[in-house]
């Protein structure tokens, strides 16, 4: 049984047991149980200490010069080490856990009387396990990979909405209200997941909160823009904004509006 955590022997202990220092300790003629890490399982023509000061054994091979010891996964790998498959070198990267594997055992197979026949003909309850992807973990992982100083930057494929319409003076301008609702209803009719921010808040609050939420596309509708036959379009991922020509005769601008909405 391997001690956990592993502890290095002191220099005094090594000298007392082997008769030499740690620089020259090796597995040959060492009267101790020998355990090895899996990383050395396929070594060939390697060098080991001889348990004699200032001496080594070279060109050692398993089974030929020394019995293969019990192998365990003991040490942590390091970046740049040879890959176990012999192709290239290892790279160490951060990852995010988004799923779990659970060992259920035989609890439910006994309840359901679920059995299989083994090789000697006996019927035995099966050992069960399950795999589950955590929705909350997945969302957290997506946000960790897609955000900036202003908030979330949702990928379009999983964004809660594709588009948010942000009207200015929605309750004080009949023109803004009518055109904002036209765009909103148009988007809903054509299967675009859209949100109309009709809160009675300032533009600054609306913009900052929509950036925080991270909806990929936004259209700003104001009376000044509409009187100049324009609306403002913004992309969340790069925060670019651009004015697009927009006539109040809505049906004539079907293709133009779709191009704005699906620009990403």
> Mean pLDDT throughout 189-194?
87
pLDDT for 131 beyond 90: no
Note the pLDDT of residue 3.
66
The CA distance from 149 to 127, in Å, is: 48
Q: What is the DSSP letter of 89?
A: B
pLDDT for 253 beyond 80: no
Note the pLDDT of residue 263.
45
Q: Are strands 128-133 and 99-105 parallel, antiparallel or unpaired?
A: antiparallel
Where in the chain are the domains?
1-93, 99-135, 156-261
Which of residues 70 and 262 earns the better pLDDT score? 70
- Convert the pLDDT of each residue in 96-128 to its tens digit: 888 888 889 999 999 999 999 999 999 999 999
pTM of the model: 0.57
Q: What is the mean pLDDT of the chain?
A: 87
Note the pLDDT of residue 31.
85
- Convert the pLDDT of each residue in 49-67 to its tens digit: 999 999 999 999 999 999 9
- Same fold for the pair 1-93 and 156-261: no
Is 185 in contact with 201 (CB distance < 8 Å)?
no
Judged by phi (left if over 0) then psi (alpha if -120 to 50, else beta), residue 47 lies in beta
CATH code for the structural domain at 156-261: 3.40.50.800
Strand ranges for 73-141 from DSSP E: 99-105, 115-117, 123-125, 128-133
Q: Which residues contact 38 (CB under 8 A, 6 or more apart)?
A: 71, 72, 73, 74
- Convert the pLDDT of each residue in 147-185 to its tens digit: 999 999 999 889 999 999 999 999 999 999 999 998 899
Beta-bridged to residue 100, according to DSSP, are 132
Note the pLDDT of residue 41.
86
pLDDT for 220 beyond 60: yes
The CA distance from 194 to 199, in Å, is: 15
Q: Which of 33-37, 99-103, 199-203 reaches the highest mean pLDDT?
A: 199-203
What 3-state class would DSSP assign to 34? coil
Question: Which ranges of the chain does DSSP label H, i.e. alpha helix?
Answer: 11-18, 107-111, 135-145, 174-189, 203-213, 223-227, 254-261
The CA distance from 127 to 108, in Å, is: 9
Report in angstroms the alpha-carbon separations of 35 from 1, 10, 47, 120, 168.
10, 18, 17, 36, 73
| 95 alpha-carbon distance from chain centroid | 5
The CA distance from 246 to 46, in Å, is: 76
Note the pLDDT of residue 256.
60
Measured in degrees and rounded to the nearest 5, phi and psi for residue 180 equal: -65, -45
Which of residues 2 and 33 earns the better pLDDT score? 33
- 3.90.960.10, 3.40.50.300, 3.30.365.10, 3.30.470.20: which CATH number matches 1-93? 3.90.960.10
pLDDT-derived band at 244 (thresholds 50, 70, 90) equals: confident
Note the pLDDT of residue 260.
59
Note the pLDDT of residue 264.
38
């Amino acid at each position: 049984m391997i001690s956990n955590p592993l502890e290095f022997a002191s220099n005094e202990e090594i000298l007392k047991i082997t008769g030499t220092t740690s620089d020259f300790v090796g597995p040959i003629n060492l009267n101790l149980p020998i355990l090895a890490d899996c990383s050395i399982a396929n070594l060939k023509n390697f060098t080991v200490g001889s348990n004699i000061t200032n001496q080594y054994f070279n060109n050692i091979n398993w089974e030929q010069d020394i019995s293969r010891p019990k192998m365990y996964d003991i040490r942590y790998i390091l970046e740049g080490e040879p890959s176990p498959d012999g192709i290239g070198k290892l790279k160490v990267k951060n990852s995010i856990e988004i799923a779990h594997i659970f060992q259920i055992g035989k609890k439910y197979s006994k309840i359901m009387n679920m059995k299989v026949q083994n090789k000697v003909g006996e019927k035995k309850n099966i050992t069960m396990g399950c795999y589950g992807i955590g929705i909350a973990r997945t969302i957290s992982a997506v946000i960790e990979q897609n955000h900036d100083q202003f908030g979330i930057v949702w990928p379009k494929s999983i964004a809660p909405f594709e588009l948010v319409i942000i009207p200015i003076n929605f309750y004080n301008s009949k023109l803004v209200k009518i055109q904002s609702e036209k765009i909103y209803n148009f988007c809903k009719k054509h299967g675009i997941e859209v949100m109309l921010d009709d809160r009675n808040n300032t533009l600054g609050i609306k913009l900052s909160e929509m950036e925080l939420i991270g909806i990929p596309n936004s259209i700003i509708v104001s009376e000044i823009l509409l009187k100049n036959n324009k609306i403002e379009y913004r992309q969340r991922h790069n925060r670019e904004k651009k004015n697009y020509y927009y006539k109040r005769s809505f049906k004539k601008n079907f293709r133009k509006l779709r191009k704005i909405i699906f620009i990403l």
